[in-house]
Amino acid sequence: MEIILLGILWFVFLILTFRSPGSPQISRLLFFLVWFTLSITLGFVVATRVLDWDPVPTKWAIAHQLTDDKIIDLTEIAPGVSHPEYIVRVDTDETYKDKDPDEWFTFYRYDVVGADKEEPTGPLGAAIYDPDRCRPPAILSYELVPVSYDYLGQDDAEVVVDNIVVYDDPQSGGLDRPEVVVYGETRGVTTDLNIFRKVGTYPDCFEIQSLRQANPNLSMPYAERLNYDNLGSFRGTYRVKLDGNTVTVWDRGGFERSQLTVKRVYKPQNGSYFGPGTKVLLDPVASSVDFGPGQPDDIPTAYYPEKAVLAFYSRLGKDKEDLQVAESFLSPYALQIYDIRDDPFGLSTESSSIAQARDDLVGASVLEIRYQPDIMAEQLHKDRDITVTVVGVNKKGQIDYDHPCLVTWTVVGIDNPQALPYGCEWRLESYWTTCVPVGK
C-alpha cells in the first residue's frame, strides 16, 4: 500500500515538475524538490520491501569507516548476535529513571540452523553488557538464564524494562529496581515470558581492583555480588500475557476441537513468581477453562455444543447485560423452568460457600469440561450431554474451590437453516448437579 501511494505521488509531482515548457518558476522548483525526495524514498522502500535489501550492514560499515574502527561492535563480541537490531540500550539498575540508559541488551541465537542463510533460525538467548564505574572501566557481561537454562524465544523476541513488581529488595540494599521482561514469540504469538531483576550491590572500586589483582584471569571477579535473577519463567502452548504484574498462561490440548484452553493466572509474592528459595512457580491464583481465540460472537450458532455451556457460565453473575446474554443461550423449555435472576444453575448454595449462589455470586469459573464428540449425532440435531466442574467467584475475586459442583447439561439442537454447518442452534435445556440446592 505504501509503495502504491508513493508511486502515485511520484507520478503526480513528475508531471507537475516537467509539464509543458515555460519560464522557470519558484513553484516548479519546489515541485522538483518534492519529486526528488519522493524518488529517493520510493527507491529505498522498493529496495527494502520488494528486493529485501538490508541497509543495516551498510550503515554499520559506514560507521566503522567514519570512526576508524574506534566503536565497540557487540556483534563481534557477543556470540550469535548476527545483526545490530538484536542490540538495544536499556537501564536496569537504580538509575532507571534517568534518560540515558547504561546497559546494552543483546539477543543471540544458538544451536543455529542455516547459519549461511539470510535468516538463520535457532532458539534465542540474551545477555546484558554493563560498564562498571572504575578505572579503567570494564564492560561486564551477564547472561539472562531462565529456569533449566531454557531458551527465551523460539522465532522472535523483544525486551521491555519496567517496574512491574514493587519490591524493596534487601539483597540490593533496599532498592526497588525495575524488571527486565523478555517476550518470546512462536509464529507471531507470545508463548514465552521471562522476568528478570538486577540483584545485588556494586563493590567499591578499591575492592574491585583488589579482586582483579588477586584473580587476574576472571572476567567478572564479583559475579556473586551482582547478577540478574530470574523472577518468573512462563510458557504457554497457546499464548502468554502480562498485564501489570499479573501473568496469564493459556495451554491447549493437542486435539481439542473447540480450541478450548486451560487458563492459569499468576501473581508475584515477596518480589518473585517462584516459591521462596526455589525455582518452582507459585500456585496460580486462578485456574479455569477458557476460550482460546475468544468467545464466538454468536454462541447458539457455533459448531460445538460444549461452547454454549462454557459461554453460559462465563456470563453468569450480577451484571444485567451479561445475564441477558446468558439467558439467550437457554432453550424455550429452559426459559420456562429456570429464572435467570436467581436459579443457582448447579452452583453451591451452602451457607459456608464464599460465593453462595446466587446471593454472593458475581461470576462462575469452569474448572473442567467433559463431552463426547459425535459428529453424526450433531448433524442429526440430537441432544448432547456436556459436563462441567464449576465453582463460584465472589465480589472480592475469591474462588470457591472448597465447593466444586459437577453439573451436567443437556444441550438441544433447535432447527435454524441459517446456522452452519448443520442447520441448528445449540441451546441449554436442563441440568443435573451434585450440589443440591439448600432446602430442596
- For every residue of 269-283, DSSP letters joined together read BTTBSBPTTSSSBPP
Domain endpoint, select from 242, 261, 279: 242
| pLDDT over 80 at 189, yes or no | yes
| pLDDT over 70 at 60, yes or no | no
The verdict on 232 and 100 lying in the same domain is yes
Q: What is the mean pLDDT of residues 197-203?
A: 88
Beta-strand ranges (E) seen in 351-397 are 363-370, 384-393
Q: Cell numbers 459436563 label which residue? A: 387
Q: Cell numbers 519522493 label which residue? A: 38
What DSSP string runs through 57-107?
HHHHHHHHHHTTT-S--GGGTSTT--SGGGEEEE--STTTTSSS--EEEEE
What range does the domain containing 117 cover? 71-242
Distance CA 94, CA 172 (A): 9
Domain endpoint, select from 242, 257, 275: 242
**229: which strand partners?**
197
Which amino acid belongs to residue 230?
Answer: N
The verdict on 151 and 211 lying in the same domain is yes
Contact between 113 and 123 (Cβ < 8 Å) = no
Number of domains in the chain: 3
| pLDDT over 80 at 268, yes or no | yes
The verdict on 148 and 34 lying in the same domain is no
Quote the cell numbers at residue 295.
468467545
Classified as helix, coil or strand, 248 is strand
**16: which strand partners?**
none
Which of 389-424 are b and which e, b meaning 16 or more Cβ less than 10 Å from the residue's Cβ?
bbbbbbeeeebbeebbbebbbbbbbeeeeebeebeb
Q: Cell numbers 542463510 label which residue? A: 117
| pLDDT over 90 at 43, yes or no | no
Q: Which residue has the higher pLDDT, 140 or 243?
A: 243
| pLDDT over 90 at 349, yes or no | yes
Residue 254 lies in a domain: no
Q: What is the mean pLDDT of residues 417-438?
A: 90
Give the N- to C-terminal CA distance of the chain in Å, as an integer. 66
The verdict on 198 and 304 lying in the same domain is no
| pLDDT over 60 at 237, yes or no | yes
Exposed / middle / buried, residue 130 (Cβ in 10 Å: 0-12, 13-18, 19+)? buried
Classified as helix, coil or strand, 289 is strand
Classified as helix, coil or strand, 374 is coil
Handedness of CA 8, 9, 14, 19 (dihedral sign): positive
The verdict on 80 and 222 lying in the same domain is yes
Tell me, what's the pLDDT at 192?
98
Could you tell me the pLDDT band of residue 223, with boundaries at 50, 70 and 90?
Answer: low
How does the average pLDDT of the chain come out, rounded? Answer: 87
Strands 424-433, 246-252: pairing is unpaired
Side-chain-side CA neighbours of 20 within 13 Å: the count stands at: 0
Tell me, what's the pLDDT at 155?
93
Residue 250 lies in a domain: no
Could you tell me the pLDDT band of residue 313, with boundaries at 50, 70 and 90?
Answer: very high
- H or E segment at 203? none
The verdict on 193 and 103 lying in the same domain is yes
Mean pLDDT is highest, among 17-31, 108-122, 137-151, for 137-151
Closest to 140 (Cα-Cα) out of 86, 214, 212, 66: 212
Looking at the chain, how many residues does it have? 440
The verdict on 43 and 88 lying in the same domain is no
| pLDDT over 70 at 34, yes or no | yes
Could you tell me the pLDDT band of residue 138, with boundaries at 50, 70 and 90?
Answer: confident
Tell me, what's the pLDDT at 165?
96
Residue 209 lies in a domain: yes
| pLDDT over 90 at 336, yes or no | yes
Q: Which residue has the higher pLDDT, 219 or 75?
A: 75
Q: What is the mean pLDDT of residues 218-247?
A: 88
pTM over 0.85: no
The verdict on 313 and 418 lying in the same domain is yes
Quote the cell numbers at residue 125.
538467548
Tell me, what's the pLDDT at 346?
97
Domain endpoint, select from 208, 242, 276: 242
Distance CA 312, CA 428 (A): 9
Residue 177 lies in a domain: yes
Mean pLDDT is highest, among 69-73, 223-227, 299-303, for 299-303
Q: What is the mean pLDDT of residues 251-265?
A: 90
Distance CA 81, CA 106 (A): 7
The verdict on 232 and 98 lying in the same domain is yes
Tell me, what's the pLDDT at 20?
58
Residue 323 lies in a domain: yes
| pLDDT over 80 at 286, yes or no | yes
The verdict on 217 and 92 lying in the same domain is yes
Distance CA 361, CA 341 (A): 11
What does each C-alpha distance from 370 to 229, 300, 366, 401, 403 come to in angstroms? 41, 19, 11, 19, 19
| pLDDT over 60 at 22, yes or no | no
Residue 310 lies in a domain: yes
| pLDDT over 80 at 42, yes or no | no
Classified as helix, coil or strand, 358 is coil
Q: What is the mean pLDDT of residues 120-134?
A: 87
Tell me, what's the pLDDT at 203?
78
Residue 375 lies in a domain: yes
**313: which strand partners?**
none
Tell me, what's the pLDDT at 139?
82
Residues with Cβ within 8 Å of residue 372, at least 6 apart in sequence:
385
Helix and strand numbers (H, E) in the chain are 8, 16
Could you tell me the pLDDT band of residue 280, with boundaries at 50, 70 and 90?
Answer: very high
Could you tell me the pLDDT band of residue 82, with boundaries at 50, 70 and 90?
Answer: low
The verdict on 111 and 45 lying in the same domain is no
The verdict on 93 and 221 lying in the same domain is yes
Domain containing 406 — which CATH number? 3.10.450
Residue 258 lies in a domain: no
Quick: pLDDT tens for 351-393: 999 999 999 999 999 999 999 999 999 999 999 999 999 999 9
Tell me, what's the pLDDT at 71?
73
